[in-house]
Amino acid sequence: MTKKAIILLSFLITTNCFSQTDSNKIAVNNFLNYLSKENSFLGTVEMKKGNETVYSYKSNPLKAENGQYRVGSVTKIFTAIAVFQLIEEKKLTLQTPLSKFYPQIKYADQITIENLLSHTSGIFNITFWDNYYSTRNQNFSKEQILNIITKEKPDFKPNKDCSYSNSNYVLLGYIIEDLTGKSYATNIDERIVKKAGLQKTFVAENEQDIKQYKSYLFNGKDWFEDVSSHPSLPFAAGAIISNVSDLNKLMYHLFHGDLVSNESLAVMQKLKSKAIGHGLFKAPFYDKIGWGHTGGIDEFKSAALYFPSEDLYLSITCNGSRLNINDIMVGILSAYFDKKYEYPVFYHSEVTKPELAIFTGTYKAKIAGLVTIAKFEITEAENNYLFMNELENGKIGERALLERMDANTFFLRNAKGKLIFTMENNKVKNLVLEQGKMAIKCVKVK
């Protein structure tokens, strides 16, 4: 649900195919054990072919309540299903304008239900709001959320582009409530959870619902508890709690016509961009095409995928990892389908000079040396690691671990970038953030 969650949408890719044997499952096990050893996976994995479980994995020394995790944007599959059910009940159409429900939103008369489902509305993404990260643990009213959405400038006019926005699905959740006179949580329970026989799935609505569900950050030595987002803000875009078995069961019932018609499922798979459909994302892996969604909220990460040609279901939930969910999926599927794959390298430099304290401070990232595009703070972590903390209106935002590669170079894993410091007289003279072919100069301001 954060800005970096966009990375999760750059799904899989590559070409070829082999049969699955026990050795393939051992390869998946080896990969996940490697991640666990490197403090990069606290969670569960389940793979099914049809109704048969062919692989399961659990590695979490920290508490995971009943195997349940907050699944973030995988919630959008549930929301889309409920919307298509309402369409089939003739209570809504794909062309129903948003103005029928929320005319105060700019371009509401041009924005349709289909635009909301397919992220072609242009509506500002609420998780890009400047105060999102620092206020995520607060209880937001519907009015407050609508005010944020209406006050922020749209990213583009409806149908002029396709860009992921959590606001689309928050609004769809409100529309579901408006049409049915029941809460979003009740709709999901009656329309999907009970129909599909999901035993460990529900919509979190308040602090009590999320009290026992924690996610964790790694500090170079230990895991520590992250802030818990109140479910009122992600709402129908990310408030569901579930487990891997239920997510696989959800996908089974969706693709076997038990939740929506074949016509509705076809629309869910209709693409508006390279990967974005109407509640489902296309996930190519070699010559196979998967469908599903990933999710992230706080340090929870999740995925629910189905590969029709293999009748294969893959669900992942975790509440602590140093890898993004796409990289975890690629590793698992590469092992399972016997594809060439190099394990991610986790850096453990023994170089301790210069001391970490020299790198700490507040920095501004600037384009052409003029326009500030980000402000962040670097602080010490444990065991020769640093933290990079986004600053939002002077408050600490999203935090990422920096792995020391050598004396003056640190790896920013979630952005696949490097922070390269230039030193002079034992002080930081320059800092460059390299990400692919892009190099951003950063200035130390404090």
- Contact between 342 and 411 under an 8 Å Cβ cutoff? The reply is no
* Token pair belonging to 50: 């049809």
Task: Return contacts of 258-264, CB within 8 angstroms, 24+ apart.
Answer: 258/195, 258/196, 259/81, 259/85, 259/191, 259/192, 259/195, 259/196, 260/81, 260/84, 260/85, 260/88, 261/84, 261/88, 264/84, 264/87, 264/88
pLDDT at 54: 95
pTM exceeds 0.85:
yes
Chain centroid, CA 189 distance in Å: 23
- Contact between 367 and 186 under an 8 Å Cβ cutoff? The reply is no
- Contact between 378 and 396 under an 8 Å Cβ cutoff? The reply is no
What is the dotted CATH code of the domain comprising 356-444?
Answer: 2.40.128
Q: Which residues of the chain have pLDDT under 50?
A: 1-11, 13-19
Closest by CA position to 170, among listed 243, 75, 273: 75
Cα 348 to Cα 108, 300, 343, 402, distances in angstroms: 52, 24, 15, 11
- Distance in angstroms (rounded) separating the CA atoms of residues 31 and 80: 33
- Contact between 154 and 104 under an 8 Å Cβ cutoff? The reply is no
- Distance in angstroms (rounded) separating the CA atoms of residues 30 and 46: 15
- Distance in angstroms (rounded) separating the CA atoms of residues 83 and 295: 19
Question: Which amino acid appears at position 18 of this protein?
Answer: F
Dihedral (CA of 105, 110, 113, 117) sign: negative
Cα 264 to Cα 35, 107, 166, distances in angstroms: 38, 26, 22
User: The domain 3-336 is classified under which CATH number: 3.40.710.10, 1.10.10.60, 3.90.1170.50, 3.40.390.10?
Assistant: 3.40.710.10
* Token pair belonging to 372: 């500030």
User: Where does the chain hold its CATH 3.40.710.10 domain(s)?
Assistant: 3-336
- Distance in angstroms (rounded) separating the CA atoms of residues 55 and 245: 11
pLDDT at 124: 98
- Contact between 196 and 77 under an 8 Å Cβ cutoff? The reply is no
Cα 306 to Cα 110, 228, 248, 294, distances in angstroms: 33, 29, 8, 12
Cα 6 to Cα 40, 134, 163, 290, 368, distances in angstroms: 20, 19, 10, 19, 25
User: Where does the chain hold its CATH 2.40.128 domain(s)?
Assistant: 356-444
Angle, alpha carbons 145-373-440 (nearest 5°): 145
The tally of CA atoms less than 13 A away on the side-chain side of residue 270 is 16
- Distance in angstroms (rounded) separating the CA atoms of residues 415 and 427: 26
